[in-house]
Amino acid sequence: MGSITDTEIIIEAVLFASGDPVSLDKIAEIIGHDRKTTRVLMSNLIYKYQNASRGIMIRQIDDGYQLCTKPELDEYIQKLGTVRKRQGLTPAAYETLSIIAYNQPVTRAYIEQVRGVNSDSVIQKLIERNLIREAGRDDSPGKPKLYETTEEFLRVFGFSSLKDLPPLEMNDIPEVMENVPLD
């Protein structure tokens, strides 16, 4: 393998297989040239990769050379990463969120009264997802925590403010809601 091109083929394979930087000395040893010739060769090669239609390039680090992807392609490579699965809200989360959204600030007791089931874990999940947060404490006995929606809630639902919540018609709301006990 005497011609320049053949040497370049060898260098590409060696740098690829290594993954890590390969020293100038090592490259020189492998292709059977002296340091000086190898350095010139590497400079040429770096230039070629930079200007060729390649997704990868050669980076010089101290006296070593390493293959890496071109920075401008980063956005595509990011897509390789495991993306946490797009998750919808569970019906329980929707329900709880809607009660909080339309009645905030609101206590857990109120939510549970309306839903008829324990809502502890679903409230925790909504807090973890930053859709609701604690908002002080109620004045009622026991000083229960209050919950309200967050900016993230607005962002996720595409509201600019809470006024954007789809309006409820008056006859939708049963008068009974006023009477929900807070025990």
Partner 1 sequence: MKSALTNACTLKLENFEGPFDLLFYLIEKNQIDIYDIPVVVITDQYLDYLNAMQELDLEIASEFLVMASTLLHIKSRMLLPEREPVEEEAADPREELIIKLLEYKKYKEYSKVLSEREEKWSKVHYKLPEAIPETFAENEIEVSPVILRSCFLEVLKRYRDKMTDVSKKMKRILDHEKVSLRAKIRELLGLLKKGIKICFSKVYNTRKKSRLEVATGFLAVLEVVKIGYATVEQHADFGEIYVTPCDKKKNIDPMILAEDD
Matching residue, tokens 């569970």: 90
Residue 84 dihedral angles phi and psi, to the nearest 5°: -65, 135
One residue of 4, 61, 117, 162 binding a second copy per CB under 8 A = 4
| Nearer of residues 39 and 125 to partner 1, judged by Cβ | 125
Q: Which of 153, 176, 137 is nearest to 96 (CA)?
A: 153
Would you call 143 helix, strand, or coil by DSSP?
A: coil
For residue 176, state whether it binds a second copy (rule: CB under 8 A).
no
Name which of partner 1, a second copy, none residue 22 binds, using a CB cut-off of 5 to 8 Å depending on partner kind.
a second copy
Specify the residue, 40 or 162, whose C-beta has the smaller distance to partner 1: 162
CA distance 143 to 103: 18
Residue with structure tokens 């492998």? 30
- Does residue 52 contact residue 75 with C-beta atoms inside 8 Å? no
Region of 51-59, 91-99, 132-140, 155-163 interacting with a second copy (CB under 8 A): 51-59
Residues at the contact surface with partner 1, assessed by CB under 8 A: 13, 16-20, 57, 59, 66-72, 74, 77-78, 80-92, 94-95, 97-99, 101-102, 113-118, 129-130, 155-159, 164-166, 168-169, 172-174, 176-177, 179-180
